[in-house]
């Protein structure tokens, strides 16, 4: 089992930045690729970004390329999502997830999920 806990969400103005963290415990963190997803009210959960086991490779959905940066620190068992130039339509609950495949964007490819952290972007 892997337990994931997200933090760093909050309220930010459009154009602002937030850094989300995902702290992992349980099994060996570096055995898992990590992903970030988001779910807005009334919408399906969507893929945002993924990072490989070592952090050498990253993968983004087109809408966040150039604005979001995923990273990980295997020594700290933590993954991060730096979000810049945020837009109101990116208001959502953001989830981190762990899985053994990479790069994958399907939520069913991930085995473990955090509880989510709310990100609200005001216009």
The pLDDT score that the predictor gives to residue 35 is 98
Q: Which stretches does DSSP call E strand in 1-84?
A: 2-7, 10-13, 18-26, 33-39, 46-51, 58-60, 68-73, 78-83
The pLDDT score that the predictor gives to residue 70 is 98
The pLDDT score that the predictor gives to residue 25 is 95
Q: To the nearest 10°, the Cα dihedral for 81, 86, 92, 94?
A: 0
Contact at 8 Å (CB) between 40 and 114? Answer: no
Question: Residue 90 has what DSSP assignment?
Answer: G
Show the low-confidence residues of the chain (pLDDT under 70). none
CA 11 to chain centre: 17
The pLDDT score that the predictor gives to residue 69 is 98
């Amino acid at each position: 089992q892997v337990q994931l806990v997200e933090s760093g969400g909050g309220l930010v103005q459009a154009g602002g930045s937030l850094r989300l963290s995902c702290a992992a415990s349980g099994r060996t963190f570096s055995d898992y690729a990590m992903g970030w997803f988001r779910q807005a009210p009334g919408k399906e959960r969507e893929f945002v970004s993924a990072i490989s086991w070592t952090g050498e490779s990253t993968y983004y959905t087109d809408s966040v390329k150039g604005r979001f940066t995923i990273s990980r620190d295997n020594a700290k068992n933590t993954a991060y999502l730096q979000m810049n130039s945020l837009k109101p339509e990116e208001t959502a609950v953001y989830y981190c997830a762990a899985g053994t495949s990479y790069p994958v964007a399907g939520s069913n490819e991930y085995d473990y999920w955090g509880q989510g952290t709310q990100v609200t972007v005001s216009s």
